[in-house]
Structure 1
Amino acid sequence: MSSDIEQAIRFICEEKGLSYESVLETIEVALVAAYRKDYGNKQQNIEVEFDASNGDIKAFDIKTVVVDVSEEELEAQRARQAEKAEAQVAERAAEDADGRKRRARDWEPETGVKNEDADDQIVGEDEEPMFNPKTEIMISDARVLKMGSEVGKVLRIELPIPGEFGRMAAMTAKQVITQKLREAEREIVFNEYKEQEGEVLIGTIQRREGRVVLVDIGRTAGVMLPQDQVKTEHYNSGDRIKVYVREVSLGSRGPQILLSRSAEELIQALFELEVPEIAEETVKIKGIAREAGSRTKIAVATDDDTIDPIGACIGQRGVRIQTIINEIAGEKIDVIEWSEDPRTFILNALAPAKIAGVELNEEEKTATISVDPEQLSLAIGRGGQNVRLASLLSGWKLNIKESSKSEEQTAPSQDGEVSEPVIDTEEAVIDSEEANS
């Protein structure tokens, strides 16, 4: 029959999702801190064994056996170390603007980081620590405690536990346990969501904090930064939404999970969820161009002649595509067929406009698109959106001009060339940004 302590440990494991071994290790670390608080000293390298079945505690001082070092050698080492430390303090004091002085034993020679074991280390100028009384024991002393001790062996010296721990030691142990359990839980949450990085999760809107939206995604809350939000969407507490896990990192305050509703990857993930042919890679997504909240163009292709890639994405009576559109709050989606031929792909990318002709400049990777006058506004799109998305999707710079029918009615310019209305995709981008600002 398990003890009350063991049952409590197992309850914590189930509640926090932690392993039994990690919780037991945390308790042992806390007991080390408590023992050091009440009974230990700085020269002890304490390790505790805790038996959860009966509550027994055993404490040990762990030492590595080393060769004997004479007192004269130790004194010489101390003197050299003191001289070096004084020189470092003087140099650091000269460099510090505020003239702060720090004791040499509290600082590492090069990094300036506090060294808690500085008192225990006696080192030479260009050599490793010669003797550390906290973790090492000379062989002559070791053989007094245990016959047959050899250099390099680890000696476990059992320490007495005079009585119960005091109030301060108990508080120290409690703080250590709380901190260690919190760290272990954070690491488990981080590992769990790190594996889901790049996937779509279903979450519930918790609240807004300034311009940031917090989303409950299960064991923790994710963050949607302003750039990951869609301007046309409203995020109300309690709303359930699908979010793309953009990045998972572990900071000082625990795991930070960045979520997105504006990423192009969200569109791809939604298609993978709704279209079995894409999930099975029978139909492949070749590219996505998106202006979140407004319009998306997605290029698809397949090597299977029996499958219509566009029809597979749209679904019977448009069920599949409509499900995705509903999930992204009515954002329009154009599904086009990808082609290896740039001319054909550009024609498809500019849909629904009807294109009269395409002239390609392979060196500059630009394309001049001719359209009939009645198709000009459709090819350009509102604020240049259609041609801008087509350019992003195809990877070509697209210039839109009216076809030859209107050119015949256009008067020659002073240099003898025909003046044509040309729409540049870069200008369309600038115009759109100015309109949105």
Structure 2
Amino acid sequence: MASDLLDALTALEKDKGVSKDVIIDALEAALISAYKRNYNQAQNVRVDINDQSGTIKVFAQKDVVEEVEDARLQISLDEAHNISPQYAIGDIIEIEVTPRNFGRIAAQTAKQVVTQRVREAERGVIYSEYIDREDDIMTGIVQRQDHRYIYVDLGRLEALLPASEQMPTESYHPHDRIKVYITKVENTTKGPSVLVSRTHPGLLKRLFELEVPEIYDGTVEIKSIAREAGDRSKIAVHAEDPEVDPVGSCVGQRGTRVQAIVDELKGEKIDIVRWSEDPTEYVANALSPSKVVDVIVDEEEKATTVIVPDYQLSLAIGKRGQNARLAAKLTGWKIDIKSESDAEELGLLNKAATDNDHADWDDEDVDVNDRSEDAFEGASDSEDTL
């Protein structure tokens, strides 16, 4: 048993990365408990495992005293001198008390300890691997689902895709291969737990990094993302080099790059717009595919009034206010959209700024000036929208 134990510990250290010393320390502690439990002993004991020969010995530890009150914990000075004349009052003496059949108990305990330590070590390795992938993208295979989660195989564990993080336009089937965004990694008592998402804006960012080399190497920077998963997204990009077209880089030749992302997101439309420090230009770009006549900026309120051609009003607002809502999320500015005719009546055309009593567009509430939903129908996409 001794040689087999040492060989097993050496193999574990090599294959699983579990230190042999760590297992021996844990095994010694477990054997102390096993000895006391199986032999109804309450004295202080020490278990010694020789890491060279593999032999296991149990030693009872007793205090040297003048008068013995508890023979399980103490030994008289006279008895101690029979062992060695060097002992004095207050010393601790060790006496071997290894039972004859202790090898069987030791083998059973060793198996339990090694199994537990290997499990803990594997969990630690898996946790270390996936904690480094937090806020990153991985490809997984759908395994099964229940009313709470879809279980996605990421290789060494099953990640959890909650119902709230699933795209409403998607259906998931066993063996489907999907890309997911890792939102949270926890080390629980049952092992590492990984939560993933298909709706997080980070998924869109990582997909662009995979498909667009200019984003991956930093030539083109993603400044902001606004996403309504499964329906439409807007992404603002910027390049420091004036020779680089950030929008064109993301779209790709004949739209191949952005189309690959659209296909992965099952048809989600994506508007790619140019970022700008100038809020006038940035807000106008963010309302793509609508054309903008003028943008009036209120710096104090961080609000804008956008004037668009009459025939572009429904396109600028978008179906159910979606285009304006996403533009507000993307830019961080409140947006109030008016047609040219309405702006002219209010005297807003060609003015630098104005106060208005119309409701603002923001990322929570959209006021369409009491226009019916029919006014939003028929909105078409621009070249940069897929």
**Correspondence for 1:56:** 55
Paired amino acid for 1:279: Y
Q: Which residue of 1 aligns with 2:44?
A: 44
Tell me, in whole angstroms, the C-alpha distance in 1 between the residues paired with 2:367 and 2:146. Answer: 32
| SS of residue in 2 equivalent to 1:428 | coil
Structure 1, 25-34 or 203-212: larger mean CA deviation = 25-34
Shift in CA distance, 430/305, structure 1 to aligned 2, threshold 3 Å: closer
Q: Give 1:429 deviation, angstroms.
A: 8.2
Contact 1:38 1:165 in 2 (8 A): no
Q: What residue is the counterpart of 1:212 in the other structure?
A: 149
2:57 counterpart letter in structure 1: K
- 1:245-394 equivalences under 5 Å are 245-394=182-331
Structure 1 residues 207 and 375 mapped into 2: Cα distance closer, same or farther (>3 Å)? Answer: same
Describe the SS at the equivalent of 1:364: coil
2:358 and 2:344 mapped to 1: Cα distance?
Answer: 9
Q: How does 1:130-169 map to 2 (within 5 A)?
A: 147=86, 157=94, 159-165=96-102
Mark the CA change 1:173 to 1:368 in structure 2 (over 3 Å): closer, same or farther: same
In 2, the alpha carbon distance for the partners of 1:189 and 1:69 equals: 56
SS in 2 for 1:286: strand
Structure 2 residues without counterparts, runs of 5 or longer: 348-355, 374-386
How far is 1:306 from its partner?
A: 2.1
| Contact 1:402 1:420 survives alignment (8 Å) | no
Q: Which residue is equivalent to 2:176?
A: 239
Residue in structure 2 matched with residue 96 of structure 1 by the alignment: none
From the superposition, tell whether residues 69 and 160 of structure 1 become closer, same or farther in structure 2 (CA, over 3 Å).
closer
Q: Please give the TM-score of this superposition, normalised by the length of structure 1.
A: 0.69
Separation (CA, whole Å) in 2 of partners of 1:241 and 1:429: 37
Q: Structure 2 vs 1, CA of residues 423 and 364 (structure 1 numbering), >3 Å: closer, same or farther?
A: closer
Q: Deviations over 1:66-103 (max 9, x none)?
A: 9x9999xxxxxxxxxxxxxxxxxxxxxxxxxxxxxxxx
Letter of the structure 2 residue corresponding to residue 256 of structure 1: S
Structure 1 residue matching 2:116: 3-state secondary structure: helix
Q: In 2, are the aligned partners of 1:264 and 1:289 still within 8 Å (CA)?
A: yes
Aligned-pair CA distance for 1:409? 11
Could you tell me how far 1:378 is from its partner in structure 2? 0.7
DSSP 3-state at the match of 2:102: coil
| Cα separation, 1, equivalents of 2:361 and 2:243 | 39
For residues 396-435 of structure 1, what are the structure 2 equivalents within 5 Å? 396-404=333-341, 407=344, 424-425=361-362, 426-428=364-366
Cα distance in 1 for residues equivalent to 2:332 and 2:146 = 38
Query: Does the aligned pair in 2 maintain the 1:33–1:169 contact within 8 Å?
Result: no
Q: Which residue of 2 aligns with 1:34?
A: 34
| Cα pair distance change 1:311/1:219, threshold 3 Å | same
Q: What is the aligned residue count? A: 355
Distance 1:69 1:268 in 2: 77
Contact 2:182 2:195 in 1 (8 A): yes
Shift of 1:182: 2.5
Q: CA offset at residue 175 of structure 1?
A: 4.0
Distance 1:394 1:10, change over 3 A: same
The separation in 2 between residues aligned to 1:57 and 1:374, in whole angstroms, is 90
**Offset of residue 187 of structure 1:** 2.1
Bigger shift: residues 344-353 or 312-321: 312-321
Whether the 8 Å CA contact 2:226–2:235 is kept in 1: the answer is yes
Residues in 1 aligned to 2:327 and 2:333: alpha-carbon distance in whole angstroms: 8
% same residue: 42
Show the counterpart of 1:225.
Answer: 162
Letter in 1 for 2:44: Q
- Partners of 1:324 and 1:290 in 2: how far apart? 14
CA distance in 1 between partners of 2:60 and 2:250 (Å): 68
* Partner AA of 1:386 in structure 2: N
For residues 229-264 of structure 1, the C-alpha deviation after alignment (integer angstroms, 9 at most, x for no partner) is 111111111111111111111122221111111111
Matched residue SS, 1:298? strand
The answer to whether the 8 A contact 1:352-1:378 is kept is: yes
CA deviation string 1:116-151 (max 9, x = no partner): xxxxxxxxxxxxxxxxx99xx99x99x978848999
Between the aligned partners of 2:18 and 2:95, the Cα distance in structure 1 is: 30
Shift of 1:372: 1.3
CA pair 258-149 structure 1, distance change in 2 beyond 3 A: farther
Question: Take 2:260 and 2:89, find their aligned partners in 1: how far apart are those partners?
Answer: 74
Q: Would the alpha carbon gap of residues 249 and 405 (structure 1) be closer, same or farther in structure 2, given more than 3 Å must change? A: closer
What runs of 5+ residues in structure 1 fail to find an aligned partner?
72-132, 411-418
- Partner SS state of residue 222, structure 2: strand
1:198 alignment partner, SS class: coil
Give distance in 2, aligned partners of 1:306 and 1:70.
94
Counterpart residue identity of residue 55, structure 1 = G
RMSD value, Cα? 3.9
